[in-house]
Amino acid sequence: MTACDRCEQPKKVLSTLRACTDDVRPNVVAVSLGLRACASGSWWVTAMRLLHDAVKAELELDCVCCDAALGACCAGGHWRSVMLLMEYARKNRLEMEAGGWAAIVTTYVRAGRHQRLRSLVSVLRSKAVARLRRAKIPTAS
């Protein structure tokens, strides 16, 4: 699947995932690749369905999967799905990568969701301060 993912052929990656049977369950890496394929095709609906199926199959998804799903939703400009993914990450204590946060900000700006963007910046600020404190780096606050 990696070769399909690299050459941006999302349909091949997703058909491989769909071909999995009860005997062969996809793992988190395969789901992450499928989600990245969805991002390359801006297929946010498929990404959300794939994420839902993975949760239903009781796979323990990580921040890589969450970021890949965010990429698909952001590429498709679907800010409501972005909000759902952020809530999922929060509930499951998953830390998003900087690229994921940047994509979220871009999606909110493009959708004109400025109020949500303000609250997001507040959340990001407090997360940054908490990380600095854990690293014992002095902050201005």
In the numeric block, the tokens 């890496």 are attached to 29
Residue 61 identity (one-letter amino acid): L
The confidence score (pLDDT) of residue 83 equals 84
Predicted confidence pLDDT, tens digits, the chain (141 residues): 444 444 456 666 666 666 665 566 778 888 888 888 888 878 888 888 888 888 888 888 888 888 888 888 888 888 888 888 888 888 888 877 777 777 788 888 888 888 888 887 887 788 777 777 888 777 665
Put simply, whether the predicted model's pTM sits higher than 0.85 gets the answer no
Tens-place pLDDT, residues 110-128: 888 888 888 878 877 887 7
Give the relative orientation of helices 44-56 and 28-40 as an angle to the nearest 10 degrees. Answer: 170
Tens-place pLDDT, residues 96-113: 777 777 778 888 888 888
Distance CA 100, CA 27 (A): 22
The domain segmentation of the chain, as residue ranges, is 2-97
Residue 106 identity (one-letter amino acid): T
